[in-house]
Amino acid sequence: MARNKTFPDFDTAVADIPDGAVIAIGGFAGPGTPYNLIAALARHGAKRLTCIANTTGGAHKPRMPDIGMLVENGQVAKVICAFTAATRASDVIPFTKYYEAGEVEAEIVPQGTLAERLRAAGAGIPAFYTPTAVGTELAEGRETREINGRRYLLEYALPVDYAFIRAARADAAGNLRFHRSQRNFNPLMAMAAKTTIVEVEEDILPPGAIDADDVHTPGLVVHRLIRVPPPPLGLWTRKREAAR
Amino acid sequence: MSWTRMQMAERLVQEFQDGWVVNLGVGMPTMIADVPMGDRDIIFHAENGVIGYGAVCAPGTEDLNLVNAGGQNVVLNPGASIVHHADSFALIRGGRMDVTVMGAYEVSANGDFANWKLKGAKGGGIGGAMDLAACAQRVFIMLEHRTRDGASRLLPRCSLPITAAGVVTLVVTDLGLFAPMGEGFALRDLAPGVTLEEVRAATACPIIA
């Protein structure tokens, strides 16, 4: 009988996160973002965190829990993201003010390189070469190598202590299914993390209720499951509008 | 007289060939999914792993868990599929994108372009642009020919930090369609009512007509 990985609430699920932890947070433009876990981490108060995600958030309304809020809370030492400014240059995201003031460190990483660095960490690959960013300021002073006549940039794996992700469906053994573009970084972050915490949109099913052929992310890399309560108690993906 | 943004999108779409896989970036390029493709079979890829999406959803019909690269709720066309981010970018790096269409601040005659960082900014927004620019079979750029201050966005060399070097295939602006040729841009098409002299006056490097 598989162990039941269900936790009673979000605060219990994040209670052991220490100061200095490396936390990967899934989601892309809304779908798959673990809003409830981010909110629980803000309540928990762990500090000197490194946060890995596509963006720090906050460019749209209604504003949902995001890394920018953890930064505003004084909890974040560093972010590793594909955006350290808004997608549109004319927008201003909350993170930018703290970054420009030197209160938080940031490493900007091309999105595909970010995904592959997470994938590599989960796959036991320490580093890889990619053509992305060759010839740009991101490659300055870094190791490149010519392979079969093309120049590539060395990139290192990005291991993670905790992954926060969101799935549509889970069984109690931690097997996950994502709905539509909710998948994005989530399976990679689960693979890269020592501990994966998942907020689940549907009632958590008994083991076996998801056919083995239909599993997107295996329960092997999933440790804690929390069912998202209906609104207003739980936070759900909303239609987005530009914040300005 | 010049092309509107929608007419710029329509002009680029004329270059698409039947069977192409097309990646659309954030901003102006998202309009391309709304242009009729006629009898051409075009597959739209979004960097977040959505393969085979279509138009933006009518209000009230959205699936909030389905977005394109710009975060718009879109429909799936028949035959669509969804993969995770690492597979999505494996398709990009693996050369499966026939073209990527992106917006930019600047594009230069040597085929460089800049679209991730403004002058003097500490932060930037790369998203998937560097992966796409380095690895797609073709890179099409959509941008206004001039800044609000009237300065040319088509330059001998980019002044901003570049996204990729020597990759741009075609550039559409409100004034015309251009191809970078090293020291200048070849004029491929003029917007109606725009003269070659006007284009030359608006451009900071040679226009080869």
Counting as low any pLDDT under 50, the low residues of chain A are 244
- CB-based contact (8 Å) between B27 and chain A? yes
- State residue B104's pLDDT score: 97
Tell me the C-alpha distance between A135 and A140, whole Å: 8
- State residue A153's pLDDT score: 98
Q: Does A239 contact B62 at a Cβ distance shorter than 8 Å?
A: yes
Q: Which positions ≥6 away from A174 have C-beta within 8 Å?
A: A5, A196, A198, A218, A219, A220, A221, A222, A223, A225
Query: What positions of B carry a catalytic annotation?
Result: 47
Q: Does B64 contact A30 at a Cβ distance shorter than 8 Å?
A: yes
A101 residue type, one letter:
A
Under a CB-based contact definition with an 8 Å cutoff, are residues B95 and B23 in contact?
no
Residues of chain B in contact with residue A54, where contact means CB-CB under 8 angstroms, are 127
CA distance, residue A87 to nearest chain B CA (Å): 6
Tell me the C-alpha distance between B21 and B100, whole Å: 9
Q: Does B131 contact A111 at a Cβ distance shorter than 8 Å?
A: yes
User: Which DSSP string do the residues of chain B spell out, in sequence order?
Assistant: ----HHHHHHHHHTT--TT-EEEE-SSGGGGGGGS--TT---EEEETTTEEEEEEEPPTT---TT-B-TTS-BEEEEEEEEE--HHHHHHHHHTT--SEEEEE-SEEETTS-EE-S--TT-S--B-TTHHHHHHHSS-EEEE--SB-TTS-BSEESS-SSPPSBSS-EEEEE-SSEEEEE-SSSEEEEEE-TT--HHHHHHH-SS-EE-
Q: Does A136 contact B161 at a Cβ distance shorter than 8 Å?
A: yes
pTM of the predicted protein model: 0.97
Residues of chain B in contact with residue A152, where contact means CB-CB under 8 angstroms, are none
Minimum-distance CB partner of A181 among B50, B90, B129: B50
**Neighbour tally for A210: CB within 10 Å:** 19
- State residue A2's pLDDT score: 62
What residues does B61 pair with on adjacent strands?
A: none
- State residue A59's pLDDT score: 83
Counting as low any pLDDT under 70, the low residues of chain B are none
- State residue A239's pLDDT score: 86
Under a CB-based contact definition with an 8 Å cutoff, are residues B132 and B168 in contact?
no
Per-residue exposure over B6-15, b if at least 16 CB sit within 10 Å of its own CB, e if not: eebbbbbbeb
- CB-based contact (8 Å) between B160 and chain A? no
Tell me the C-alpha distance between A187 and A178, whole Å: 9
Chain A residue with minimum CA distance to B129:
A110
- State residue A87's pLDDT score: 73
First CA to last CA across chain A, in angstroms? 52
CA dihedral A216, A218, A223, A225 (to 10 degrees): 40
Cα of A147 vs its chain's centroid, Å: 32
* Assigned token pair, B81: 């599929």
pLDDT tens sequence across A82-108? 999 887 777 788 899 999 999 999 999
Under a CB-based contact definition with an 8 Å cutoff, are residues A26 and A2 in contact?
no
**Neighbour tally for A147: CB within 10 Å:** 10
CB pairs under 8 A between A and B: 164
Residue A157 is classified by DSSP as: -
Q: Does A183 contact B83 at a Cβ distance shorter than 8 Å?
A: yes
- State residue A244's pLDDT score: 46
ipTM, two decimals, is 0.97
- CB-based contact (8 Å) between B88 and chain A? yes
